[in-house]
Amino acid sequence: MNFRELPKVELHTHLEGCAPPAFIRQLAHEKRLDLSGIFTAEGGYDFRDFDHFLQVYEAACTTLQSPEDFRRLTMAVLEETASHGVVYMETFVSPDFCGGGDLVAWTDYLAAMQEAAAEAEDKFGITLKGIVTGIRHFGPEACKPAALCAAETYGDFITGYGMAGGEMVGRPADYAYSFDLAREAGMPLTCHAGEWGGALMVAETIRDLRVARIGHGIGAIDDPTLIDEILEKDIVLEVCPGSNVVLKAVDGWASHPIAKLRDAGVKVTVSTDDPPFFHTTMTAEYDMLHQTFGWGEDEFKALNATALAAAFCDDDTKARVAKRLEPAQ
């Protein structure tokens, strides 16, 4: 079966994490930065574990220094993502990597991303929306300007607020101020949890940050009471199986809990997270889900309907994207 052509909705990507290593190498060359330490001899990203991954990720981000760099990145990412059938994508973008949390700088970076998104929509038939993201291991204070940037730019392109980064830094309640600020601005919320912190971190995230979606959330599988709460609150999981396998959050594809979560009635969706880092694509994720759990076109269509319903964009955008999910007449 060829899943590449199947139209797809992807809710959980990190814009900088979608940067191909060759793209980052080119920027490093242009800016005379020596980033040789973050690449393997074959030219891929080189990291040992999750903490090292975050270090390599942040080193790669040092090459992204201007709105123009983000315009180029956004175009390159959308062309590649659309080539795997993705017709709608949400991506985490961080004011920390776009002008250091300064609102004026942030609006310039956003304008450049939006310009590229509009061009890519025309050329490649993919819609992009941004979710402003606080970086957890930068600490609760650093997440406040990110949330402020989110609230000030919430609109057509920026559709939500979330948090990524080192999950074991602090507790969800430490970050409540930022989430409250974004919620009071009317923004939908998501947060990485249960990638590393197990069911407890998912439960605290739901209780203290009151999110509609959880990034990863796979640790929830160990707590039936939490599963009941996820069902009752209609919380959607942004599951990224290939990322979990490469970062060793799970032992391998066969033991990944996505199928059990889905069987328990949880609304799961599938995304790539940071595709070039994890040598994955949406096509590869679907291929592996097919090989491992026997999922086919029916399951993938249902998955995409769930993802579109849980998307943070406006209803007009959803209606436009829904047409792209329909089979060609």
**Binding to ligand ADE (CB under 6 A): which residues in 60-119?**
none
- Per CB under 5 A, 285 contacts Zn ion: no
CB nearer to ligand ADE: pick between 7 and 130: 130
> Cα(239)–Cα(244) distance, rounded to whole angstroms?
9
Residue 21 interface partner, choices ligand ADE, Zn ion, none, CB cut-off 5-8 Å depending on type: none
Residue 311 interface partner, choices Zn ion, ligand ADE, none, CB cut-off 5-8 Å depending on type: none
Question: Tokens representing 324?
Answer: 């792209």
**Binding to ligand ADE (CB under 6 A): which residues in 242-271?**
243
Helices marked H in the chain: 21-30, 50-61, 67-82, 103-124, 140-153, 176-184, 198-209, 224-232, 241-246, 258-263, 282-293, 297-310, 315-325
CA proximity to 195, closest of 176, 168, 171: 168
User: Interface mask (CB under 6 A) for ligand ADE, residues 2-41, using x and -?
Assistant: ------------x--x------------------------
- Cβ atoms 106, 70 nearer than 8 A: no
> Cα(286)–Cα(295) distance, rounded to whole angstroms?
8
CB nearer to ligand ADE: pick between 51 and 234: 51
CB nearer to ligand ADE: pick between 169 and 259: 169
CB nearer to Zn ion: pick between 28 and 128: 128
- Per CB under 5 A, 273 contacts Zn ion: yes
> Cα(243)–Cα(183) distance, rounded to whole angstroms?
28
Residue 69 interface partner, choices Zn ion, ligand ADE, none, CB cut-off 5-8 Å depending on type: none
Place of tokens 């605290």: 204
**Binding to ligand ADE (CB under 6 A): which residues in 202-241?**
none
Q: Give the one residue of 8, 192, 256, 262 binding ligand ADE; rule: CB under 6 A.
A: 192
Is 243 in a helix, a strand, or coil?
helix
Task: Give the residue numbers annotated as catalytic, written as ranges.
Answer: 195
Q: How far is the CB of 192 from ligand ADE (least distance, A)?
A: 5
**Binding to ligand ADE (CB under 6 A): which residues in 156-175?**
164-165
Residue 195 interface partner, choices ligand ADE, Zn ion, none, CB cut-off 5-8 Å depending on type: ligand ADE
> Cα(1)–Cα(215) distance, rounded to whole angstroms?
28
Q: Give the one residue of 96, 195, 238, 285 binding ligand ADE; rule: CB under 6 A.
A: 195
Encode 254-291: b = buried (16+ Cβ within 10 Å), e = exposed. eebbbbebbebebbbbbbbbbbbbbebbbbbbbbbbbe
Binding residues vs Zn ion (CB under 5 A): 273
